[in-house]
Every structure is written in C-alpha cells, then in structure tokens.
Amino acid sequence: MKEKGINKSEIVALLQSGHQERIAEAIAMLREHGDSSFLPEVIGVLNSTNDSLVVRSILGLFADIKHTKAIPYIIEAIKQAPNADVQKDLVSICWENGMDFCPHISVFVDLVLHKEFLVAFEAFTVIENMEGIVDDSKKKDLVDLIESAIPDTTPEKEGLLLDLVQIIPNIKPAESYES
C-alpha cells in the first residue's frame, strides 16, 4: 500500500458507508494507493460488520500488507477481533506474511495461553516461525509464564505449551540462518 494522491476523507466515507459495494471500492483503493494510516478505520469496519464478504475483503487486505509500519495495526486488529474466527485468520496472516512480529511475542504467547485451540494453534505457529531478536530475559519470563500455566491448561493445549517451552529459548535472529 503506497499513498499517491488518495483522498482520505473519501476513503473514510466509503469505509463507513455500511454498503458492501462502497466498502469494497474503498478496500480496492487502499490496495492500490493506501498506507497504514488508514488501518484504524479498516479495523473499525472489521469490528463492526457482520458481512462475511466485507470481512474476507479486509482480511485479504491485511494479508497483502508487507510493510513494517502496519505491524502495530495488525496486532491491534488481533486484540480487538470481533470473534475467534476473525482473530484466527488475523493471527495466521502473521506467520504467512513473513514480517517480524518478534517484538510482539508476548501477544502471541497470551493467545496460546488464553484463547480457544484454533486461535492458540495459529499463535503457536507464529512463535514457531519467528526469526528475530527476542531479549533473553524476555524469553526466560515467557517460558516461566508458560510453565506455570501448564498444570491448569486443557489437554488439547498442553502439547503446544510444552513445545513452546522448547521453542522460545531457541528463537534465533534471521541473520543467523545465513551462510
């Protein structure tokens, strides 16, 4: 998404119109010329619509975003997701798009610990695929948190938590994989 003479008030009006066709037009314009400054309005629509086509269109937009300025907005969308299905899809975008979500590892650990299995599994996958810098003390704190949660977790999620206890300490910066 790159800004090129886009009329912000027009985009916002289309997004807030409540009409599927107009929202789709706004999403198309954002795909072509938008920037991350529009994402709060897009998140607002995502959280307020029951229209599955609008939700799919917005999720598609998020999936296509490849610039790091959008990461905080994606994290906010995950936190505000209107239901588990949307939250699961937003989390899966994080491991599919290849951006560095390491600074937000705590969000994903929280999702594994506290959300239903399908969301937890997607968050686990994000962590499992992380390549970036996570402070060693942060890793230790997260492992301690996970270990303390194991006795009270569901049998379904216990395996995820046990695996995270092994995965998190071994997260390596992306450049360590280069030869």
- Distance (Å, whole) CA 69 – CA 128: 23
Tell the residue number behind the tokens 């609008």, with chain if given.
Answer: 54
- Per-residue pLDDT at 7: 84
The residues of the chain scoring below 50 in pLDDT are 1-3, 176-179
- Per-residue pLDDT at 84: 96
- Per-residue pLDDT at 98: 85
Which pairs count as long-range contacts for 170-175, CB under 8 Å and 24+ apart, including other chains? 171/102, 171/105, 171/127, 171/130, 171/131, 171/132, 171/134, 171/139, 172/131, 173/131, 173/132, 173/133, 174/100, 174/131, 174/132
At residue 50, the 3 state secondary structure works out as coil
- Per-residue pLDDT at 177: 42
Query: 86 with 46: CB under 8 angstroms?
Result: yes
pTM for the complete prediction?
Answer: 0.89
- Per-residue pLDDT at 174: 58
- Per-residue pLDDT at 1: 46
- Per-residue pLDDT at 34: 83
